[in-house]
Structure 1
Amino acid sequence: MYSLTFTISAFVTFFTIIDPVGLAPIVLGLTSQLDNAQRNSIITRAVLISAVIIAFFAFVGRFLLDRLGIQLYAFNIAGGALLFLVAVDMLFGRQSGARETKAEQEEALTREDISVFPLAIPMIAGPGTIATTILYVGLATPNPLNLLSVAAAIASSLLAAWIVMRSSSWIINHVGRTGILVLSRLLGILLAALAVQFIFNGISAFTHMEGLLK
């Protein structure tokens, strides 16, 4: 049965975990030596690569879980824990290790094409995004409307990331880095609450299943 609450949750979670606004200063820093045409080409390529990666895990993620013998409630708990770590880093203004390690960040500075690394992986389609995708597809299956909601949430978040990254100079000039940090912290609070809810849902499903087995 279609759920408006589920749809809203999917949109908020994907928008927060991809964090389009937070990508603006990163893109400017990594492409400071490039002209607008080169920057836009890299941004478009990064979003398309991210879309392919996310779609891959949306289609085969549940299959991989089944083959590994991992129940959805276990992935709820693990995914919630991972998202909570990302939320904590957002709240404290730290670079999330669930997205990009310090070593990866330093390596990115020496690469000419940053569309694959670090923009597509792990900044947009990182572990947090992949875990969220598998989690929401699992929760939406087999309801086609809920699956469509997840697809729309992913597509909207990627489109927002594309628009924001292409407008990064304008956003920095008008909103400022302080404004971006404030918004990132507000999104971090929402993500933390959603992450805790995922963990509670996983625990609830686990206890219910254990009760049925007994």
Structure 2
Amino acid sequence: MDQLITAFVTLFVTIDPAGLAPLFIALTSGMEARERRRVGFRAAIIAFVILVLFALAGTAILALFGITLPAFRIAGGLLLFVIAFEMIFEKRAERHERTTTRLSADEMSHLAVFPLAIPLLAGPGAISATILLAGQMSGFAGKAELVGVIAAILAITFGVFALGERIEKLIGDTGRMVISRLLGVILAALAVQYVADGIVAFVNAPA
């Protein structure tokens, strides 16, 4: 149960569904509610496939390049800390907004793939967190639980997208900033824990 909670919290704050809601609304501006739901659902499905791929084969990919899990845990923890820093100081929202402004007319028809699924949902931070969690949740049961967590978070994300306009009006800019920064502090603490665990495992690894 502790692993499930850790996995859920880590991926939830990394993907940050609430923080993406205003960006989703901006990207789908002018669309009907049904079209918005279709785009949000497709983005969630694509992100699910990407994250599940790394959950199941992430360790094998690391082995192919000769990277140990402790080393990746340290690197992933540092990356998560950078994301947490950006969330706390509102840098992440600014970067995401810059990403959305680069869309051309042709890319608008494929916005479910870019930038929604990649890199806003299944970005480097989420992929790193997924591989790290997959290393902790070993065995078929552990992987199945991780896939379930990924599915649950992306289902929540789709729900937030579907209700994004209402949520934005409800919490306002102040509420969004408070939530984003609170989640950033939690993610920073988890990132430090990942780095500490990775250093211990790296030092204690057999030569």
Alignment TM-score > 0.5, same fold: yes
Which residue does the alignment assign to 1:107? 102
Instruction: Label 1:84 to 1:96 Cα distance change in 2 as closer, same or farther (>3 A).
Output: farther
Match status 1:164 vs 2:160: yes
Alignment of 1:76-91 (within 5 A): 76-91=73-88
Alignment of 1:63-142 (within 5 A): 63-95=60-92, 102=98, 104-108=99-103, 110=105, 111-113=107-109, 114-142=111-139
What stretches of structure 1 of length at least 5 have no aligned partner? none
Question: What is residue 174 of structure 2 aligned with on the other side?
Answer: 178
Q: What is the match of residue 10 of structure 2? A: 13
Post-superposition shift, 1:146?
3.0
TM-superposed CA distance for 1:93, in Å, is 1.0
Letter in 2 for 1:95: R
Match of 2:32 in 1: 35
- How far off is 1:100 after superposition? 5.0
How many angstroms apart in 1 are the aligned matches of 2:164 and 2:93?
20
Per-residue deviation, 1:101: 8.6
Equivalent of residue 185 in structure 2, options 176, 182, 189: 189
1 CA distance for matches of 2:21 and 2:101?
Answer: 18
Q: Is the 8 A contact 1:30 1:109 kept in 2?
A: no
**Equivalent of residue 205 in structure 1, options 183, 201, 204:** 201
TM-score under structure 2 normalisation? 0.93
Q: CA deviation at 1:109?
A: 5.3
Q: Is the 8 A contact 1:91 1:188 kept in 2?
A: yes
- Between the aligned partners of 1:129 and 1:16, the Cα distance in structure 2 is 9
Structure 1 residue 174, shift from structure 2 partner:
1.3
Aligned equivalents of 2:47, 2:117: Cα separation in 1:
5
Runs (5+) with no aligned partner, structure 2: none
Q: How much does 1:56 deviate? A: 1.5
**Secondary structure at the counterpart of residue 108 of structure 1:** coil
Q: Percent identity?
A: 40
- Count of residues in correspondence between the two structures: 205
Letter in 2 for 1:26: L
Q: Distance in 2 between matches of 1:152 and 1:181?
A: 29
Which one of 123, 145, 154 corresponds to residue 150 of structure 2?
Answer: 154
Decide whether the 8 Å contact of 1:87 with 1:188 is kept in 2. yes
Q: TM-score, normalised by structure 1?
A: 0.90
Residue 121 of structure 1 and its aligned partner are, at CA, apart by 0.3
| Secondary structure in structure 1 of the residue aligned to 2:200 | helix
In 2, are the aligned partners of 1:81 and 1:199 still within 8 Å (CA)? yes
Describe the SS at the equivalent of 1:175: helix
Runs of 4+ in 1 over 3 A off after TM superposition: 99-102
RMSD between superposed Cα atoms in Å: 1.8
Matched residue type, 2:63: D
The AA in structure 1 aligned to 2:4 is T
